[in-house]
Chain A
């Protein structure tokens, strides 16, 4: 991998290039912030408050479709989170140097996406004020949660994932916060001084730091695979046709990384342009990311085909019917949107010209985001709407409250990300320096 552009920067220039993003925001930043905040306010705050006040009946959920857009959103956002950990931890263990221009934004994305995902099980609760019943704690009625239920595994998996990602994000940022502190003045110097907890960059500190970073990466790697496997078991442990398959864990993990890579592209392409990071985040880096997206797209497509093969070769009429219904049934439109967005459009990335064209990548990444949202919708809603007995079949249409909350979740996510770009270093400065120095030798 060539990195001539990066190598031309000296260490001081690099500090200034990256910290340029933290200078006074332009009017467009405020516009973007206002739009996100508005979506968040009307979506999450107003719609959710209305639902809490009125009851879960304001959503389109019914019997048999008890899981709808909320659970779709939950799986979608947990999936988005995954590529952040992949880029920061797995590629760290593989020593893939191109990760260092993305890993900070990808880690931020992970933390914010898990925060967004964590809202949805709460939104889906009829009595949200009793959410703490999910946690195991000694109580007066001497009840404990059922640890054989995948929903309890989810509580453990998602809360562990959030904690470890947040630690990883902060630890990776610690030396960079000290750089911001060195450059800042006045009250900001104090704020970043407190955030960087007195980091000096001595040899002894680096020694422990390197160990810590390696251990966290080693923990995060199996964690990221376990989290989406657990999410997939929410479905695969049930006997509903279309859910009850053993390929769900790898299929979900690949899908998660696929959607996450797309989201990183969606976020970083404009970020690079706005904050003039062309010399730090190069086209080569995007090309590597696009290849990762392509590989996961192929895995996901393979899973779509295998699902059908399993269903038809199983000789199980319910299973076979479930998949025929997906393809040509009442919900054929979401299903075909998914197929086109996830298994056809991303294949243009096979062409080198497309891989190196940021506008094209940005547009493809938007399609992938849409496609992956519909993938979760299809798995959840289509399977539930037609199970074994025709007597219990039923249709589901999301209500405006569900749409509002979904839009609100995007507002919340982008709001957090926009605040991040102005308050914290958006590229791992220290790691880029390390790479530059390694290339000089």
Chain B
């Protein structure tokens, strides 16, 4: 097939890719397969991952949930223990901190699944796999 380039070596693969990019190929024109994340490949195509926005949203919702939950619960059921103030923020921060990480992590995972189009039921048993080879597959141009 003319629109498929397969390489054993990472160096040759990178060189070919550089050549293609020089010819004006963009991220949307090719599908690239690699057995492991190739260092520097992300930098060759401009667009960085949008995952960070999911992570930030998750972390912010976590810290908000934590502060609101602890303060609301203490206001709703004011239980005085050891003469401490009802709304003691330092201990509440512990709960908020844990929830920041919990929701931040869960949102990141969901964001990753969404951005990578996973789970993908059609690829559970893929028709073609490149294994340990590097592959550049040109997408057919729709005209």
* Interface, chain A (partner B; CB < 8 A): 11-12, 15, 136, 142-149, 152-153, 156-157, 159-160, 163-164, 167, 171, 175, 181-182, 189-190, 193-194, 197-212, 215-216, 219, 222-223, 226, 230, 430-431, 433-434, 437-438, 440-441
Contacts and interface: CB of A to CB of B under 8 A. Distances in A.
Contacts of A211: 49, 51-52, 112
Interface in B78-127: 79, 81, 84, 88, 91-92, 94-95, 97-99, 101-102, 104-106, 108-109, 111-113, 115-116, 118-126
A147 B92 contact: yes
Contacts of A200: 33, 120, 123, 126
A153 B119 contact: no
Given A209-B37, A434-B37, A156 B49 contact: no
A212 B35 contact: no
A193 B124 contact: yes
A81 to B, nearest CB: 15
B31 A136 contact: no
Contacts of B36: 175, 430-431, 433-434, 437
A206 B37 contact: yes
Nearest to A147: B70
B17 to A, nearest CB: 9
30 contacts: A136-B69, A153-B94, A156-B102, A160-B99, A160-B102, A163-B102, A163-B105, A164-B102, A194-B124, A197-B118, A198-B119, A198-B120, A198-B122, A199-B123, A200-B33, A200-B120, A200-B126, A202-B31, A203-B32, A203-B33, A205-B116, A206-B41, A208-B51, A211-B112, A212-B109, A215-B108, A216-B105, A219-B105, A223-B98, A226-B94
Nearest to B78: A144
B4 to A, nearest CB: 14
Interface in B2-46: 10-11, 27, 31-39, 41-42, 45
Nearest to A204: B116
B108 A203 contact: no
Closest 3 CB pairs of A and B: A198-B120, A198-B123, A197-B119
B132 A219 contact: no
Contacts of A182: 129, 131
Given A144-B77, A211-B49, A211-B51, A202 B91 contact: no
Contacts of A171: 109, 112
Given A202-B32, A208-B112, A145 B105 contact: no
A197 B108 contact: no
Contacts of B111: 208, 212
A430 B81 CA distance: 52
B141 interface: no
A164 B97 CA distance: 14
Contacts of A189: 125
Nearest to A148: B91
B84 A226 contact: no
Contacts of B119: 197-198
Given A208-B116, A212-B109, A215-B51, A157 B98 contact: yes
B13 to A, nearest CB: 11
B113 to A, nearest CB: 8
Given A152-B95, A200-B33, A212-B112, 12 more contacts: A144-B73, A144-B76, A182-B129, A189-B125, A198-B119, A198-B124, A201-B34, A201-B130, A202-B31, A430-B35, A434-B36, A440-B10
Given A143-B77, A144-B74, A148-B91, A190 B124 contact: yes
Contacts of B32: 202-203
A198 B118 CA distance: 7
A338 B52 CA distance: 45
A423 B125 CA distance: 19
Nearest to B50: A208
Nearest to A162: B102
Contacts of A153: 91, 94-95, 98
Nearest to A11: B132
B68 to A, nearest CB: 11
Nearest to B31: A202
Contact of A163 (B42, B76, B106, B113): B106
B22 to A, nearest CB: 17
Contact of B115 (A148, A208, A441): A208
Contacts of A194: 124
A156 B92 contact: no
A201 B35 contact: yes
A432 to B, nearest CB: 9
Given A197-B118, A201-B33, A160 B98 contact: yes
A222 B59 CA distance: 13
A223 B62 CA distance: 14
Contact of B98 (A136, A156, A206): A156
A211 B113 CA distance: 12
Most-contacted residue by chain A among B81, B101, B108, B130 (CB, 10 A): B101
B131 to A, nearest CB: 6
B28 to A, nearest CB: 10
A207 B102 CA distance: 23
A160 B101 contact: yes
Contacts of A197: 113, 118-120, 124
